[in-house]
Structure 1
Amino acid sequence: MVPQVEAQTHQYTALAIQTLDTRSANYIVRFNNKDDAAKLVSPSEPPRKQLHAVFESGFTRAGYKITPNANRHIKFELQQLLTDVDESLFSFVAKHQIVIRAVADNDNKQLIKTFSAKGKLEGPLKADFATLELDMNKLLLQITSDIINDDEINQFFK
């Protein structure tokens, strides 16, 4: 997953990045069954790790120097990452939702922004996990690109 990134800074501003998973549950897909309990699917790798790698790579490509002891910090809180799937006899509807909160600190100033993305996938028969994962990854790519290229965040660090 590689977000589209525009160069934001030319002086290689030092930046520390932290990524937290603050979701109340660790599953990422919930298959809702009308009469039975929902089937929950957890990721094979923690989403926090994947997001952290994407943010480090993206902000580096945007011109920042990522270092843990920088004066400028940005913390990403993964607040929601969920696909709800409703299946009927001949079709399914999957609704994706992602919410990431960015908390940026620069000297004694703080900027807090919340980014969200929603998606919907409909198809025939039953939903397969690979199709759901591909659709969710597109949404993750969109939201991480939006965050890395956000004018307000990048201006805050100049």
Structure 2
Amino acid sequence: MKLLIPILLSTLLLTACASYEPTHVGLNPTLGAVKLQTEADFPVMVDTIDTREASFVVRFNEEGKAPRLVSASEPVRQQLEKLFRNGMNKAGYVIDPAARNSVQFQLNYLLADVTDSTFSFESKTRLVINVLAKNSQQEFTKSYNANGYLKGSLSPDFATLELDITQLVDKLTTEILNDEELHQFIQR
């Protein structure tokens, strides 16, 4: 009898832990290596907007069930805003809301589509960020894309998905912040 109670409690606790499904993913993008683009303290207005149709970042698809949608724990737009502002500062620009030249970073698409089967999972992540730069005479638009793929046994753990999405964001934002064509336009 003394042994039965701890076994029952342990089973109950393990069952409760196994059925827990997080409701948010914690993304933590970081600023990659950004090259200095100007030494003249060039003023530029920087803005980041989220134009996605849906705010979730992970969609779990299991056969016979409705998709389970998971959002980011912190708004992705705010994380990108901080990243792009820091990156533009590191590139040598002075962020000035009254500047004549402006750059708008538009989060157009971010989704990890996870297909979960009994013994394995597959995750396909897609990220699209559009950039709209303006000076007094012209506009510059460019779309940047990145895709990620992850495959594993059993069900995916959130830490793995978070890391995969974060690395994709890091890679694409670094590519954008080091795009010489964009910087040549901004400095006109």
Percent identity between the two aligned chains: 42
Corresponding position: 1:115 with 2:140: no
Q: Secondary structure at the match of 2:72?
A: coil
More helix per residue: 1 or 2? 2
Match 2:162 to one of 133, 138, 156? 133
Which stretches in structure 1 are left out of the alignment for 5+ residues? none
Letter in structure 1 aligned against 2:78: K
Which stretches in structure 2 are left out of the alignment for 5+ residues? 1-29
TM-score normalized by the length of structure 1: 0.98
Which digits, 9 at most, give the CA deviation of each residue in 1:64-122, with x for residues without a partner?
A: 11111111100111110100001111111111100000000011210000000001011
Letter in structure 2 aligned against 1:122: K
Cα distance in 1 between the residues matched to 2:169 and 2:72: 14
State the aligned residue count.
158
* C-alpha RMSD over aligned residues: 0.7
Structure 1 residues 57-72: aligned runs within 5 Å: 57-72=86-101
Q: Secondary structure at the match of 2:181?
A: helix
Corresponding residue for 1:78? 107
Corresponding residue for 1:95? 124
Runs of 4+ in 1 over 6 A off after TM superposition: none
Corresponding residue for 2:153? 124
Cα distance in 2 between the residues matched to 1:79 and 1:43: 16
Corresponding position: 1:5 with 2:40: no
Structure 1 residues 42-61: aligned runs within 5 Å: 42-61=71-90
Cα distance in 2 between the residues matched to 1:125 and 1:4: 35
Contact 2:63 2:117 in 1 (8 A): no
Cα distance in 1 between the residues matched to 2:96 and 2:78: 17
